[in-house]
């Protein structure tokens, strides 16, 4: 299958001074709303308007299983992946209550879960294979599978966009995907692997050491060509590659992308290695409690909105941050100007 190309350009900056002028003339001291002002400028620049809006927000969860779990890299058993998918569909997961709270629609996608879902009508079936191969010994994902995942992730976002969605976030479900993310992080940034490996779903310090030893061995066994795509294929997960495709498509469509925790941050890291301008469309929701998340955020020069000690995944940190983005848009649209409110401008 042919590799998909995206047309991603940095948003045109000519509108920026006009956005700043509008914000500076709202009834407040200049800069007094801090990050809300920065986000309003960013969103207005992405949308190329002085009156940005958030329309029909969507959250997409991609699910997939990882062959590396056979090596004992996860505290949770592999059967948790399909079990949690049933929980998502029944509305009982952490991500569900947040989506309901903030009126965000959800799509759940089977990217490559090792389970046959029968009669689960609202689950989107884009299964590539029942779990990736074990990258301790072989490439986890073939090049054709990689290209298929990119295409399918992009299609999901196209579908959301056709429903007038202009702001989107992504989450994941896949036991073992913190391991894949840790290796991606190390190989794509040069950060030592021991700073990239964390507790995942619950390892203690000894468990983290064992996990590191296993992943270090897998990296030592790697005989690929070192290219970005080869690294992503060798150590990736189907749900992670689909998320990359979704992120790239969202940027091409000039959508606002809200980034979640450790795994999704490593997916946008990977996406940025393919198309650097994708980062201009991203707002980073939170810094999670997975130990490597801080370092990859610093590498990306990203400023997360929240730091709540979260490490659930699913996109929960992104959705917790959504109201702040909404506040930024409401600020620029709903606050009065000094002239309109007949308030004396009380700063120089």
DSSP string, 125-180: E---SSS---TTTS-SS-HHHHHHHHHHHHHHHHHHHHTT--EEEEEEE-TTHHHH
Q: Left if phi > 0, otherwise alpha if psi is -120 to 50, otherwise beta: which for 314?
A: left
Higher-scoring residue by pLDDT: 344, 241: 241
Average of per-residue pLDDT values in the chain:
94
Note down the domain range covering 32. Answer: 13-52+332-341
Indicate which CATH number applies to the domain containing 22. 1.10.1610.10
Q: How far is CA 142 from CA 32, 78, 188, 223, 305, in A?
A: 51, 22, 19, 15, 36
In a domain, 252, yes or no: yes
pLDDT over 90 at 339, yes or no? no
In a domain, 286, yes or no: yes
pLDDT confidence of residue 79:
87
pLDDT confidence of residue 319:
97
Reported as a single tens digit per residue, the pLDDT across 167-216 is 999 999 998 899 999 999 999 999 999 999 976 656 777 778 889 999 99
Which helix H or strand E contains 316, and what residues bound it? helix 316-334
Higher-scoring residue by pLDDT: 249, 312: 249
Q: Are residues 26 and 68 in the same domain?
A: no
Domain count, the chain: 2
Q: Are residues 47 and 171 in the same domain?
A: no
Indicate which CATH number applies to the domain containing 68. 3.40.50.10210
In a domain, 8, yes or no: no
Rounded to an integer, what distance in angstroms lies between the CA atom of residue 33 and that of residue 27?
A: 11
**Ranges 74-78, 82-86, 250-254: which has the least confidence:** 74-78
Reported as a single tens digit per residue, the pLDDT across 113-140 is 999 998 788 999 999 999 999 999 999 9
In a domain, 7, yes or no: no
Mean pLDDT in residue range 75-81? 82
Mean pLDDT in residue range 131-156? 97
Mean pLDDT in residue range 152-169? 98
Rounded to an integer, what distance in angstroms lies between the CA atom of residue 9 and that of residue 29?
A: 33
Report pTM.
Answer: 0.96
- Euclidean distance between the first and the last CA atom of the chain, given in angstroms as a whole number: 60
pLDDT confidence of residue 290:
83
Q: How far is CA 209 from CA 181, 197, 292, in A?
A: 16, 9, 14
Whether 149 and 111 have beta carbons less than 8 Å apart is answered as yes
**Ranges 74-88, 124-138, 229-243: which has the least confidence:** 74-88
SS3 content of the chain, % helix, strand, coil (to 5): 50, 10, 40
Rounded to an integer, what distance in angstroms lies between the CA atom of residue 255 and that of residue 82?
A: 30
Q: What angle do CA 34, 313, 147 make, to 5 degrees?
A: 100
Residue 169 bridge partners (DSSP): 59, 258
Q: Are residues 88 and 18 in the same domain?
A: no
Mean pLDDT in residue range 101-110? 97
Q: How many helices (H) does the chain have, and how many strands (E)?
A: 13, 6
Contacts of 63 (CB under 8 A, 6+ apart): 81, 84, 85, 108, 109, 110, 111, 112, 113, 172, 173, 174, 239
Q: Are residues 295 and 214 in the same domain?
A: yes
pLDDT over 90 at 155, yes or no? yes
Give the 3-state secondary structure of residue 295: helix
In a domain, 92, yes or no: yes
What percent of the chain has a predicted confidence (pLDDT) above 90? 83
Q: Are residues 179 and 89 in the same domain?
A: yes
Which helix H or strand E contains 63, and what residues bound it? strand 58-64
pLDDT confidence of residue 72:
81
Q: Over the Cα atoms of the chain, what is R_g? A: 21
Q: Which residue has the tokens 């649209």?
A: 333
pLDDT confidence of residue 200:
60
Q: Are residues 225 and 290 in the same domain?
A: yes
Q: Are residues 36 and 133 in the same domain?
A: no
Reported as a single tens digit per residue, the pLDDT across 289-303 is 888 999 999 999 999
Rounded to an integer, what distance in angstroms lies between the CA atom of residue 83 and that of residue 2?
A: 34
In a domain, 85, yes or no: yes
Phi, psi of 255 (to 5 degrees): -95, 150
Contacts of 348 (CB under 8 A, 6+ apart): none
pLDDT confidence of residue 91:
94
Q: Is 334 a catalytic residue?
A: no
Q: Are residues 75 and 142 in the same domain?
A: yes
Phi, psi of 248 (to 5 degrees): -65, -40
Mean pLDDT in residue range 22-43? 96
Q: Are residues 158 and 243 in the same domain?
A: yes
Among the listed residues 239, 252, 290, 314, the single catalytic one is: 314
Q: Are residues 165 and 268 in the same domain?
A: yes
pLDDT over 80 at 275, yes or no? yes
Q: Are residues 283 and 337 in the same domain?
A: no
pLDDT confidence of residue 304:
97
pLDDT confidence of residue 76:
75
pLDDT confidence of residue 179:
93
In a domain, 87, yes or no: yes
Q: Are residues 20 and 127 in the same domain?
A: no
pLDDT confidence of residue 206:
78
pLDDT over 90 at 3, yes or no? no
């Amino acid at each position: 299958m042919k590799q998909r190309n995206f047309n991603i350009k940095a948003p045109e900056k000519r509108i920026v001074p006009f956005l700043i002028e509008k914000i500076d003339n709202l009834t407040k001291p200049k800069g007094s709303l801090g990050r809300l002002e920065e986000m309003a400028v960013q969103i207005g620049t992405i949308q190329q308007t002085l009156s940005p809006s958030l329309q029909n927000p969507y959250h997409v969860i991609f699910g997939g299983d990882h062959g590396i779990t056979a090596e004992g890299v996860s505290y949770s058993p592999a059967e948790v992946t399909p079990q949690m998918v049933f929980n998502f569909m029944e509305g009982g997961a952490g991500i569900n209550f947040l989506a309901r709270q903030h009126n965000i629609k959800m799509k759940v996608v089977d990217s490559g879960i090792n389970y046959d879902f029968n009669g689960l009508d609202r689950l989107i079936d884009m299964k590539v294979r029942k779990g990736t191969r074990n990258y301790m010994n072989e490439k986890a994902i073939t090049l054709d599978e990689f290209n298929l995942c990119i295409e399918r992730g992009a299609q999901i976002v196209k579908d959301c966009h056709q429903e007038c969605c202009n702001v989107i976030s992504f989450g994941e479900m896949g036991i073992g995907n913190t391991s894949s993310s840790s290796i991606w992080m190390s190989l794509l940034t040069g950060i030592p692997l021991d700073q990239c490996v964390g507790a995942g779903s619950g390892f203690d310090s000894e468990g983290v050491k064992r996990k590191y030893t296993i992943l270090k061995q897998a990296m030592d066994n790697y005989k690929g060509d070192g290219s970005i795509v080869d690294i992503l294929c060798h150590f990736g997960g189907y749900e992670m590659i689909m998320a990359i495709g979704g992120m790239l498509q969202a940027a091409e469509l000039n959508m606002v992308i809200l980034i979640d925790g450790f795994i999704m941050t490593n997916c946008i890291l990977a996406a940025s290695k393919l198309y650097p301008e994708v980062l201009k469309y991203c707002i980073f929701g939170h810094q999670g409690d997975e130990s490597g998340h801080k370092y990859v955020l610093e590498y990306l020069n990203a400023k997360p909105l929240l730091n709540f000690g979260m490490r659930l995944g699913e996109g929960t940190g992104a959705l917790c941050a959504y109201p702040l983005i909404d506040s930024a848009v409401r600020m620029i649209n709903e606050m009065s100007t000094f002239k309109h409110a007949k308030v004396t401008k009380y700063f120089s």
